[in-house]
Amino acid sequence: MNTKCYDELILPLFHRMSNLEKLDLSLVVCTTKTFIDGNNLKLNIINHMPLLNEFKFNIRSSTRFYNQFNLPSNKYVQQTFKDFQNKQIISSVDYFKENGFSRCHIYSYPYELKYYKYITNNFPGGIFERVRTVSLFDERPFEHEFFFQIAQSFPFLEKLTLINQKRQNNKQFRKSKNQNQDSAIIEYPYLVELELSEAHKDYHEQFLFDTKTCLPNNVCVGMDYRLVKKVTRNFRRNTTRSNCAKMSFVGFRNKSTFPEHLKDYFPHAKII
C-alpha cells in the first residue's frame, strides 16, 4: 500500500485495533517527517496493541526531511529495533543527492513478498527464494560484482528492471577480495523479462556481453535502441550476438529506422 497519509489515516486505523494479535504490514510511505523506524513502530503501533504477539512488516519510507549532513545512519536505525521480539530485522538507508530525497527500508526476515523494489548499492544481501520481481535504482554505479550478488540473492528471479544513468567505474573486471565474483559469467536461469531502457550504456553491455552475462532463452527485453546500436556495433558484434539471439521479444526505446540485418541479429524475437 502506498500512502502520503501515514499519520492521518494509517495510524488512527491501527489505534482502533487494540485486540489484534497478528499483524502483517506492507507499506510505502511518503512523508515530510522522519523515517519510520523501530521507535516509530513501537510508539505508534505496538504500544497500542497489547495483545500483539506476531508482527511482520515491510516498510519503505521516503522523505525530503534529511540532507547528507543530518541523515541517520543505518546503524542508528538498526538500534531502534533492539527491543523487538523478532531479532531478524533488516534495514538500509539511502540518500539521493541528485533527486533530493532519502529512503529507509525496514523489513522483518525471512522476507515473504514476491517483489523487492529499488535495490541500491546498500543492499544488505540475504537469500530471497520467494521473490520473483526486482527493480534496481541508484545514483551510484552498479559494478559487475553487484549483479553477481543480485543473482545469488534472488535465485528464482523472473522480472528485473534496472534504472541507473551512471557509468560503471571499471568495466573491466577488477581484482577484489573475491575474484570469482569479478570474473564469473552471471546467469539468471528463470528470467523472463529484463528492462534496461532507462539504464546507461554500460548496463546494456553488462547484460548483452556473453563474457559477463548468460541470458536464458525466450527472454523479453526492453532496451534503448541508440545504446544497443553502439554496444552491438550496428548489430554486427559477436560478443553480443549470442544473448541477442536468445530473446523472444525486444522493445526499443528511442528507435529509428531499423537496418535490414537487424532481424538476423535477433532471429527469434518480435521487435517493436
For 105-134, the pLDDT digits (tens) are 999 999 999 999 999 999 999 999 999 999
Ordered DSSP codes for 34-64: ----HHHHHHHTGGG-TT--EEEEEEEEEES
First to last CA, the chain: 33
Percent of the chain with pLDDT over 90: 86
For 223-255, the pLDDT digits (tens) are 999 999 999 999 999 999 999 999 999 999 999
Amino acid (one-letter) located at 259: P
pLDDT confidence band for 181 (50 / 70 / 90): low
Answer for the pair 212, 234: CB distance below 8 angstroms, yes or no.
no
- Looking at residue 212, what is its pLDDT? 97
Cα separation, 256 vs 271, in Å, equals 12
What's the average model confidence in pLDDT over 45-50?
96
- Looking at residue 137, what is its pLDDT? 98
SS3 119: strand
Q: Which three cell numbers stand for residue 106?
A: 525496514
Q: Which three cell numbers stand for residue 59?
A: 516498510
pLDDT confidence band for 175 (50 / 70 / 90): very low
Q: Across all residues in the chain, what is the average pLDDT?
A: 93
pLDDT confidence band for 176 (50 / 70 / 90): very low
- pLDDT higher than threshold 80 for residue 178: no
Q: Which three cell numbers stand for residue 63?
A: 522523505
Place of cell 522522519: 34
- pLDDT higher than threshold 80 for residue 100: yes
- pLDDT higher than threshold 80 for residue 81: yes
Answer for the pair 123, 149: CB distance below 8 angstroms, yes or no.
yes
pLDDT confidence band for 67 (50 / 70 / 90): confident
The secondary structure of residue 8, as a DSSP letter, is I
What's the average model confidence in pLDDT over 151-177?
85
pLDDT confidence band for 39 (50 / 70 / 90): very high
Answer for the pair 144, 212: CB distance below 8 angstroms, yes or no.
yes
pTM of the predicted structure, to 2 decimals: 0.91
Answer for the pair 6, 30: CB distance below 8 angstroms, yes or no.
no
- pLDDT higher than threshold 50 for residue 144: yes
- Looking at residue 169, what is its pLDDT? 94
Cα separation, 115 vs 106, in Å, equals 14
What's the average model confidence in pLDDT over 58-86?
90
Ranges of H-type helices in the chain: 11-15, 38-44, 74-79, 144-153, 179-183, 201-208, 225-231, 238-245, 262-265
- Looking at residue 182, what is its pLDDT? 55
Give all domains of the chain, ordered by start, each with its CATH number: 1-109 (no CATH), 111-272 (3.80.10)
